[in-house]
Structure 1
Amino acid sequence: MQYDSNVQNRLRRAQGQLAGVLRMMDDGKECKEVISQLSAIRKAVDRTMALLVASNLQQCLTEERTKKPEGGNPEKVMEEAVRLLVNSR
């Protein structure tokens, strides 16, 4: 699977935020501030996962339709995508 540069950029941004949280902890910042930043990181990663599953679903559905003459089994692909999202929490 090819990954969109948008997805990779989102993860790099989250990586930078996480490095910032580690600096905050080293600097002895208040717990409330650290938790707030961690919450923002979690939200960013959750959104990235949803974007990744959505684009993966689209790609898988397209592949499923083209590789099988009868159109494949798009329901199976969608069930797997939903399972991925549900299990991610």
Structure 2
Amino acid sequence: MDYNYPDEMKTRLRKIEGQVRGVLRMMEEGKSCKEVVAQMSAVRNASDKAIAQIVAENLHQCILAEQAGGNQDTQKIVKEAVELLVKSH
């Protein structure tokens, strides 16, 4: 099944991309380790939220597709989504 990612998700990733560029710039400018790590932590948190959003939206779409096909047992799909989230940490 092809998935059409909403613009909101792409915008979120572009913001993360900008944050990563900012961290690189900080390193090039010789900013302190504390400042760099704080920004990298912010990047990680933003990335974790993006992953959760993508998995949740995909889960929603997969459940709707299964139900439209007559399958009401969506437990396998939910389990796969949880495994994706666990694997991402």
Interval of TM-score (by shorter of Structure 1 and Structure 2): over 0.9
Q: Distance in 1 between matches of 2:21 and 2:4?
A: 27
Which residue of structure 1 lines up, in the alignment, with residue 30 of structure 2?
Answer: 28
Structure 2 residues without counterparts, runs of 5 or longer: none
Which residue of structure 1 lines up, in the alignment, with residue 78 of structure 2?
Answer: 78
Aligned length: 87
Q: Distance in 2 between matches of 1:6 and 1:49?
A: 13
Q: Quote the offset at 1:73 in angstroms.
A: 3.1
Which residue of structure 2 lines up, in the alignment, with residue 12 of structure 1?
Answer: 14
Give the letter aligned to residue 29 of structure 2. D
Higher relative contact order (CA 8 A, sep 6+): 2
Query: Identity over the aligned pairs, expressed in percent?
Result: 46
2:5 is aligned, of 3, 6, 24, to 3
Runs of 4+ in 1 over 3 A off after TM superposition: none
1:6-63, Cα deviation, whole Å (9 max, x unpaired): 1111100000010010010011000000000000000001001000000000000001
Which residue of structure 1 lines up, in the alignment, with residue 64 of structure 2?
Answer: 62
Q: TM-score, with normalisation over the residues of structure 1?
A: 0.94
Q: Distance in 1 between matches of 2:56 and 2:42?
A: 21
Give the letter aligned to residue 84 of structure 2. L
